[in-house]
Amino acid sequence: MEWKIDRKKCLACGACVAVCPFLAVELTNNQIVNNKEKCTACGICSRVCPVKAIKVE
């Protein structure tokens, strides 16, 4: 399982951060970053993304 973000699509709005149950996604320096150690690749972040910039596959 891999968490991927398309930075061309991402607007750094933080919707994914709001729903991450594991505090694995953060909005820092105006960028969404994923902490691989915390991420369980559950895909919740990808479902809420208004532009579907996140893919978990």
Partner 1 sequence: MFLKNSYDVVVVGAGPAGSAVTKKCASHGLSVAMVEKRQEIGTPKRCGEGLSFEMIDEMGLKIPQNCIRKEIDGCIIVAPNGKKTIIDFGKPSGYILERKVFDKWLAAEASRAGAYVQAKTEVTEILKNNGKVSGVRCKYQGESIDISAKIVVGADGVESKIGRMAGLNTTSKLINIDSGFQFEMSNIEIEDPNKLWIFFGTKIAPRGYVWIFPKGEDIANVGIGVGLTDKPARYYLENFIKEYPSLQRGSILEVNSGGIPVGGFLKNMVLDNFAVVGDAAHQVNPIHGGGIQEGTVAGHILGDVINEAIKKNDTSEYALSPYNKIWWNNHGNKLLNVQKVREVMEKLSDGDFNTITNSLTGEDILELSDGKKLSVLAKALMKNPRLIGLARHLL
* Residues in 1-57 at the binding interface with partner 1, rule: CB under 8 A: 11, 13-21, 23, 26-30, 44, 47-52
Q: What is the DSSP string of 1-57?
A: --EEE-TTT-----HHHHH-TTS-EEEETTEEEE-TTT-----HHHHH-TT--EEE-
Give whichever of 6 and 36 is closer to partner 1, judged by the CB atom. 6
Least spacing, CB of residue 55 vs partner 1, in Å: 12
Strand partners, 34: 25
Q: Which residues of this chain interact with partner 1, rule CB under 8 A? A: 11, 13-21, 23, 26-30, 44, 47-52
